Structure 1
Amino acid sequence: MKFLILILISLSIFGCERPPIETRDVSLLSSVDHYANELLKDSRFRSVSIGVYKKGEVFTKHYGELETGKGNKPTDTSLYELGSVTKVFTGLLAAKAVLEGKIGLDDDVRKYLEREYPNLEFNGKPVRIKHLLTHTSNFPNFPIKGDNKEDFLVGLSEINIESEPGIKYSYSNTAPELTAFILETVYKKSYDDLLQEYILNDQSMIETKFVDNPEQLVKGYNGHGELMPNFERRLWGGAVGLNSTTPDLLRFIKLQLDDTNNMVSESHRDLYQINKALSVGYHWYISDEDNILSYRHHGGIYGMQNWIIIFPKHDIGISVISNASFDGVGDSLEEVVMGIFKRIM
């Protein structure tokens, strides 16, 4: 009987259903409320989910309704598309591979490709691993052939490198897909398994995943109120395709603020300087504007946009997601994050 009671107590404490995340920080709560309500004054935004990690405390809150008139407010279980925020997960796995000697930042990417790609160089200067991570490979933004993995590899042979790699910043979704393929090659595991084994399982991010059934996902809208399709993954998912919840993103933020984690520290290393205030690490953008250091990335897809911004010197990280995508959404969401941060400093 005592053993049964202990089991019941354990289940009540550690059961699968997670309690809501709350805060007693009045300043934090009022700041989040203020900026969320200001955002929703624009009727093109239906809802917004905000998560804040502050010095060990985590807090989530959701506003609006996912579909106009239905009253279905987002929750901690709402599964959002992360868009290009997927790239920082790829960058973290690449940092692990570098630390373990599986790949080298200065390696010619062709070292890991079975076919011959004489085109992946300019005047004898090859595309290197670090160029894939920093958007300096001169690869096109979107794959020349992206319907499936085999076509993607064929399409690599049609890329025209028009200037020396590593010199010019030019955003590319093609490059992180190749990175994911290379990671699969060196670890002899699928990209999905690498994410699970080395990031998601360790951080108890059980809701973060690629999904085949779009019915599991929050639906997104454009600026005209039209329902937009969810993204369909056809490649590895190194550039886009991950989905997550606000609580899981706070677990990822907590990981990113762990300066004792060598993999994390490596992923934040400055690899390419864009301008005086902005550089790129392993897909993280490293900003040092107005003497405020932050690691940041924006994600956008057909009907959804989000920002994740981390302030390591203050032990603070913020995630904001909305199921709206139109010109200016990214800027508006960034203003929400920066506004909350400055108020709770």
Structure 2
Amino acid sequence: MRRRDALALLAGAALPWPLRARAGQAELDEAVGFTGQVLYLALKVPALIIGVVRNGESSIQGFGRRADGGDATPDGDTLFRIGSITKAFTGQLLASLAADGVVSLADPLTKYVPEFTAPLSEGGRPIRLVDLATHSAGLPREVPHEPGPADNPFVNITPDAFAGWLKANPLLYTPGTSILYSNFGFDLLAAALSAAAQKPYPDLLSDRVLKPLGLAETTFAPSPGQTQRLMQGHGFDGAALPDVPTGSVIVGSGGLRSTPRDLLSWLKWHLDRFANDRAAERLIDHAAYLWRDGLVSVVGMDESGPMTAMGLGWVIMAPEGDRPLIMQKAGGLQGIFCNVAFAPSRNTGVMVAINAFDFNAALAMGKAANDLLAELAPR
């Protein structure tokens, strides 16, 4: 070792631990702030929140205005719809029930909800729980339904609509042979898990995931105090959108609201991959169940980065260049786009949210999250 390098190493070793920790936090704040500011200015959205957790340290920074006509900048306690990130929570709930032997990933859907039979397609290959969790059940993106009123647009998405479609239509492909992104499938999965545990789905998710992980702000039904911190979404035309209900059916595919602080706490749990507590649940949740190689087709999975494999709701991206392996999920509902991504082998995770329905902005946001992981936790 050269003398100069040895002196530098000794100087670093002599630095008191609190000072080293503060230096690490300052670097993280600088990286998150710079990325967030550049992204906010480039996307020209009303508001943006970005947060990172790395080796237990976290940084959350907000830009713009949380709601039209107000002065509040979004922060770690800002509540917003997480849309389809709800699916990753549903996947974790499936892992929790599987770890405790309540269900098996290979169980057929009809074991728990026999009304959701698909007689035109189930002769030799039933829909399994794992098919629903990997978007490979042969279902369309949405169950066909009449649009509801502006203040309750999801009212016609019902269990009867699910059962009616399954009985009257063949599946789009044999389960497990292709992937097509499906909200329909995750709401069927939620119904099956609820029936298996004999508990309403919101209560089941709360008891098995939200409460044990301390996610007090993540909810289907925000309190009046929480709604005062709600980030206002905007439509494609820039107009503010109302905070409409999603009802009791859209619970596996969407419907949850959360905060940056809660999402980073959730990512901390996912990153604590060698912890003994709930270890089986984490292992089941993080496994790859369906690889792109060998599938007939993959539709609707690459918006936030190219899918290599599917976990239980998680899109798994293989390492590439400096970028580590990433598990990610994006969501969008009522004028909010958001993204969570983490590098399990690098103990680093990212969340980003914007309050505008702008697909170009959403694509850029997903890329920025992946790029930030590559910068903060390179291979």
TM-score by length of 2: 0.79
Pair 1:224 & 2:256 matched: no
| 1:223 CA drift (Å) | 4.4
- Is residue 289–residue 311 contact of structure 2 (8 Å, CA) maintained in 1? yes
Cα RMSD for the two superposed structures: 2.3
Output the CA distance in 1 between the equivalents of 2:43 and 2:176: 43
The letter for the 2-side match of 1:312 is P
User: Which residue does 1:86 correspond to in 2?
Assistant: 86
In 2, Cα distance between equivalents of 1:110 and 1:192: 21
How much does 1:199 deviate?
A: 1.0
| Match 2:342 to one of 304, 310, 327 | 310
Q: 1:250 aligns with which of 236, 253, 264?
A: 264
**Conserved? CA contact 1:123–1:164, under 8 Å:** no
Q: Tell me the alpha carbon deviations over residues 211-258 of structure 1, each in whole angstroms, 9 at most, x when there is no partner.
A: 267955321113432112335212150000000000000110011112
Paired residue secondary structure (2:179): coil
Correspondence for 1:62 = 62
> Do residues 147 (structure 1) and 161 (structure 2) align?
no
Asked whether the 8 Å contact 2:117–2:163 carries over to 1, the reply is no
In structure 1, what is the Cα distance between the partners aligned to 2:161 and 2:242? 23
User: CA separation in 2, counterparts of 1:166 and 1:221?
Assistant: 36
Helix, strand or coil at the partner of 1:324: coil
- Unaligned 5+ runs, structure 2: 1-21, 146-155, 294-305
After superposition, the Cα gap between the structure-2 partners of 1:43 and 1:286, relative to the gap in structure 1 and judged at 3 Å, is closer
Structure 1 gaps of 5+ residues are 1-21
Q: Give, in angstroms, the shift of residue 60 of structure 1.
A: 1.3
Partners of 1:306 and 1:101 lie apart in 2 by 33
Name the CA shift for 1:74/1:186 in 2 (closer, same or farther; >3 Å): same
Q: Is the 8 A contact 1:144 1:159 kept in 2?
A: no
CA distance in 2, matches of 1:231, 1:119: 35
**Corresponding residue of 2:253:** 239
- Give the AA of the match of 1:163: Y
Aligned counterpart for 2:285 among listed residues 238, 249, 267? 267
Pairing 1:1-345 to 2, within 5 Å after superposition: 25-42=25-42, 44-67=44-67, 70-115=70-115, 117-119=117-119, 121-145=121-145, 146-211=156-221, 215-216=227-228, 217-234=230-247, 235-259=249-273, 260=275, 261-275=279-293, 278-290=308-320, 292-345=324-377
Greater fraction of residues in strand:
1
Q: Quick check: 1:23–1:58 contact (8 Å CA) kept in 2?
A: no
Structure 1 length-normalised TM: 0.86
Count of aligned residue pairs for this structure pair: 324
What per-residue deviation string (whole Å, max 9, x for no partner) do you get for residues 60-95 of structure 1?
111111245633211222111000000000000111
From the superposition, tell whether residues 148 and 223 of structure 1 become closer, same or farther in structure 2 (CA, over 3 Å): closer
Contact 2:133 2:313 survives alignment (8 Å):
yes
Task: Tell me which amino acid in the other structure corresponds to 1:170.
Answer: L
Q: Note if contact 1:307-1:333 (Cα within 8 Å) is conserved in structure 2.
A: yes
Match of 2:5 in 1: none
8 A contact 2:286–2:311 mirrored in 1: yes
Q: Percent identity?
A: 26
Is this contact kept in 2: 1:44–1:225, CA < 8 A? Answer: no
Change in CA separation of 1:326 and 1:239 when aligned onto 2, cut-off 3 Å: same
- Distance in 1 (alpha carbons) for counterparts of 2:345 and 2:69: 42
Residue 56 of structure 1, CA deviation: 1.1
Q: CA deviation at 1:119?
A: 2.5
1:199 maps to amino acid: V
